[in-house]
Amino acid sequence: MENRSADSDLFNGEAHMEKAVDQAREIVAEQEEENKEKGARAVASIEKIFENTEVPSWKDQLTLRAFVVSLVLGFVFSFIVMKLNLTTGIIPSFSVSAGLLGFFFVKTYTKLLEKSGWLNQPFTRQENTVIQTCVVATSGIASSGGFGSYLLGMSKTIAEQSNDNTSSRNVKNPELGWMIGFLLVVSFLGLFSVVPLRKIMIIKFKLTYPSGTATAHLINSFHTQGAKLAKKQVMALGKFFSFSFLWGFFQWFFTAGEDCGFIQFPTFGLKARANKFYFNFSATYVGIGMICPYIVNISLLVGAILSWGLMWPLIDARKGDWFPADASSNNLNGLQGYQVFISIAMILGDGLYNFLKVLNLTIRGLIKEFQDHSSELPVARDQILSYDDQRRTHLFLKDQIPTWIALCGYVGIAIISMVTVPQIFPQLKWYYILVIYIFAPVLAFCNAYGCGLTDLSLASTYGILAIFTIGAWAGAEQGGVIAGLAACGVMMNIVATAADLMQDFKTGYMTLASPKSMFVSQAIGTAMGCVISPSVFYIFLKAFKNVGQPGSDYPAPYAIVFRNMAILGVEGFDALPKNCLKLCYVFFAGAILINIVKELVGKKWSRFIPLPMAMAIPFYLGPYFAIDMCVGSLILFVWQKSDKIKADAFGPAVASGLICGDGIWILPSSILALCGIKPPICMKFLSRKNNVRVDALLAS
C-alpha cells in the first residue's frame, strides 16, 4: 500500500501529509542500488528464479486460509488505525507489517501441515499478495471512513465545540447501523471506476506506484532468499509487540482518574507541561517516528514550537482584545479559534498546492503519452522488454476483468447509493450525489494517476472540495454542514479506493498475482472493513466516554477541523475571532510559499525545509506526540549510525511491533472499561506548593 494512509493522507490515513515515501520505498532504492553494484541484469531477474514454479489460477490464489488470516489481521490493524485516527490522525503505511505478518501466519500454518503430511496447496507469493491486499483494504476503511474526521464531525459533541447550529438538521450522532450501511454503499464505487484503465496505467504508461512496487519487492524477497530474514524480522516484531503490549498494560494501573498516569509526566517541567511540551511514553508514536521520514518528524516539532512555544502564548496575552476574556479554552470564539482556523489555513494552502502540482504532472504526463507515436501495448513489442516484464505483462493481460462488469457495477451501485444515502442523510439530496458520481471517475483517475507518479494520494483534498461545493449549494438552513460532510465521505471513499486498487494492481503485476484475484481480494477486504471499522469505532465510543473532547485521551482533532471547514463553506468567515482571518491569509500563503521554495531549491536542500502539512497538525493538538515521534527518529538515527544494515533490515519490524502492541492493548482496555473495571492507582504530578496544600488537606 500506499499512502492509504499517507496516508499519505493524514486526514484519513493514507496520509494526506506528504510523507515523501515511507520505509517501504527504501526497499526499492536499496534493491536498485544493489543491482547496480552487481552490474548484471540477469542477477536482478526475479522471474528467472520462479521460472519453473507454476503460477496458480486466479481462483486458486483466493484461498480460505488467506481470507481467515486477512480477517484476523484486518481486525487488528483496524483497532490500531482507529486509535491513531482518534488521537492525532497520523497514520503510517502498514503494507510492510501486513505483508510480513501474512507471510508469517500462513507459512507457519503450512509448515505444520507439511510435517503432518496434510498439505494440499503450498504457500505462494500470489497468495501472500492476496492477503496483503485484503488486510490493507480492510484497515483502509478505518482510515478513509472518516471516523476521526467527517463522520465524527457530524456529532453533537463536535457541534457543541464548534459553536455552530446544533439543530437536528446539522447534527447526526454516530450509530452502528447507519455507519455500516453508508460505507457499504459508497466504498465500492472506486473499485469499478478505474478497472477499465488498469492496462493503460500499469502497462502503457508504466506508472511506478512506488509503495505498490516496494510491497511487491518485499513479498518476492520473502519467497526467495529473503525467507530467513523474514523469519528474523517477525521475531523482532514479536519481541517489541510483547514489550509494547505489556508496557500499555503496566501504564493502565496508574490511570484511575483524569490527568493520571505516565502520560502526565512533566518531562520538561510543569509550565512546559501546561503548554503540552512533554514526552508521554507512547510506544505507538515512538514506533511511528521510526517509520516516518526524518523531515516529517522535524516538521511536526517545528510547527509545535512555532505555535505552542511562541504564537499561542502571545495571542493568549491579548485576551480581552483579540477575543473575549471569559472565553474558555475550548471555545472557538477564544484561543481555540486561532488554533483551529490557522491550522485549517495551512492545511488548505498545502493541499491546494499539491493538488495543482499533481494535476499539472497528470496533464503533462497524459499529453506526453498521447503524443508518443508508439501507442502499442508493450506486449506487441516483446523484443525490447526484459524477461521479467515479458512474463508479467503476459500474465497481467491474461486474466481480464470485462469492461462491461466495471460499467454495470459502477452504474448499479451509483443508483443504489442515490436511493440509499438520502435515507441516511436527508440533507444530501439525490441530485447532489448524482453530480458527485458524474465527476468522480475523472477525479478517481487523476488521483490514481497522480499516486502512480508521486505516491501521494489527495483523497482528502477532493473530499474538502466536496465539503465546500455541496455545503454551499445546500445552505445552512437546509443542513449544509451535514450535507457537506456526507459529500466529503462519498468523494473520499471513491478516490481513495481507486488509488489503492491501482497500487494493488501494480503489486499483483510484479508478483504475478492475477488482476481478478486482486480485485476480488480488494472487494472482500473492503466489505470486511465496512463492518469491522464501524464496529471498532462503536467500541471506542462505548468504552471511552470522552471521545472527541479536547484534552482527552481521544480528542479526534480532525473532527472539529472538518466540521469547521463545512461551517466555513456554508456560513463564510463572519464567526472568526478578531485578526484570525488575517493570520489565516498569512499562513495559507506561507504554506504555498514554502512548497514553492522547496521546488525551487532542488532535492539537495528541500529535504531540510519543513512540510507545511506536518507543521499544521500540532497547531491544534500540541507538541507531545511530535516529541514522541522525534524520539523514534533519534532511536533510528543512532541505530543506523552504529549498524545501518541491521537498522534498515529490522527498523520497520521493530517499529511495527511497537505500534501493534500498544494498539492491540486498546482491545482489552476497552473490554475492562465496558465491564466497569477501573485501574486501582492514580499517579499525578504536583508542584511543591500544591503538594503542601494537598498534604495539609489530607492531614486535616
Burial of 638 (0-12, 13-18, 19+ CB in 10 A): exposed
What are 9's strand-pairing partners? 15
577: in domain: yes
pLDDT of residue 688: 87
- Considering 241-255, 336-350, 572-586, the range whose residues carry the highest mean pLDDT is 241-255
* Neighbouring C-beta atoms of residue 388, cutoff 10 Å: 17
| C-beta neighbour count of 578 within 10 angstroms | 14
Give the model confidence (pLDDT) of 309-329 as tens digits.
999 999 989 888 888 888 776
The residue type of 71 is L
Cβ atoms of 539 and 671 within 8 Å: the answer is: no
Spatial distance between the Cα atoms of 653 and 98, rounded to a whole number of angstroms: 11
Residue 282 has pLDDT above 90, yes or no: no
Q: Please state, in angstroms and rounded to a whole number, the distance separating the CA atoms of residues 156 and 693.
A: 39
Flag whether pLDDT at 18 surpasses 80: no
Residue 329 makes CB contacts below 8 A (sequence gap 6+) with: 335, 336, 550
Residue 1 lies in a domain: no
Residues 6+ apart with CB under 8 A from 217: 27, 28, 31, 510
Q: Would residue 616 count as lying in a domain?
A: yes
User: Which residues make beta-bridge pairs with 15?
Assistant: 9
Query: Quick check: 213 and 631 in contact, CB under 8 A?
Result: no
CA distances from 189 to 194, 409, 497 (A): 9, 8, 8
- 3-state class (DSSP) for residue 326: coil
Nearest to 347 by CA among 464, 481, 457: 464
Answer with the residue of higher pLDDT: 330 or 68: 68
Work out the average pLDDT over 11-21.
39
Residue 8 counted as domain residue: no
Task: Specify the DSSP class assigned to residue 571.
Answer: H
Residue 445: count other Cβ atoms within 10 Å of its Cβ: 21
599 vs 666: CA distance, rounded Å: 41
pLDDT of residue 225: 61
Which of 31, 63, 58, 27 has the alpha carbon at shortest distance from 44?
31
For the cut 70, the answer to whether the pLDDT of residue 369 exceeds it is no
Total number of residues shown for the chain = 700
Q: In the predicted model, what is the mean pLDDT of residues 662-684?
A: 86
CA distance 197 to 201: 6
Q: Which pLDDT belongs to residue 661?
A: 85
pLDDT above 70: percentage of residues in the chain: 88
Q: What DSSP assignment string belongs to 662-696?
A: HHHTHHHHHHHHHTT---S-B-----HHHHHHHHH
Asked if the structure places residue 657 within a domain, the reply is: yes
Whole-angstrom CA distances from 448 to 236, 311, 358, 414, 601 are 34, 38, 11, 20, 28
Average the pLDDT over each of 42-46, 278-282, 581-585 and give the range with the smallest value. Answer: 42-46
- Give the Cα separation of 454 and 462 in Å (integer): 17
Which residues are CB-neighbours of 555 under 8 A, at least 6 positions away?
Answer: 86, 87, 548, 549, 621
**Which residues have C-beta within 8 Å of that of residue 260, sequence separation ≥ 6?**
254, 679, 681, 682, 683, 684
* pLDDT reported for residue 243: 94
Tell whether the model's pLDDT for residue 218 goes beyond 50.
Answer: yes
* Among the listed residues 614, 653, 581, 457, the one whose alpha carbon sits nearest the alpha carbon of residue 16: 457
User: By residue range, what is the domain housing residue 197?
Assistant: 23-692
**CA–CA distance, 13 with 68 (Å, rounded to integer):** 24
- Phi, psi torsion values for 572, nearest 5 degrees: 85, -160
Q: Which residues contact 441 (CB under 8 A, 6 or more apart)?
A: 193, 194, 410
In total, how many domains does the chain have?
A: 1
Provide the H-helix boundaries in 399-545: 403-424, 430-454, 459-474, 480-511, 515-543
Share of the chain above pLDDT 90, in %: 33
130-152: per-residue pLDDT in tens? 999 999 899 889 988 999 999 99
**Considering the entire predicted model, what is its pTM?**
0.77
Task: State the pLDDT at residue 151.
Answer: 94
Q: How confident is the model at residue 15 (pLDDT cuts 50, 70, 90)?
A: very low
Decide if 397 contacts 509 (C-beta within 8 A): no
Cα–Cα distances in Å, from 89 out to 137, 467, 557? 18, 19, 7
Per the prediction, the chain carries an average pLDDT of 83
Q: What is the pLDDT of residue 40?
A: 40
User: Is the pLDDT reported for residue 657 higher than 80?
Assistant: yes
Angle, CA 105 vertex, CA 102 and CA 110 arms, to 5°: 115
**Using one digit for the tens of pLDDT, what is the confidence trace for 162-212?**
766 666 788 999 999 999 999 999 999 989 988 888 888 888 778 888 778
Amino acid 184: pLDDT? 95
Whether 6 has a pLDDT exceeding 70, the answer reads no
Q: Mind listing the pLDDT tens digit for each residue in 524-564?
A: 999 999 999 999 999 999 888 888 888 788 888 889 889 98
Residue holding cell 508496557? 247
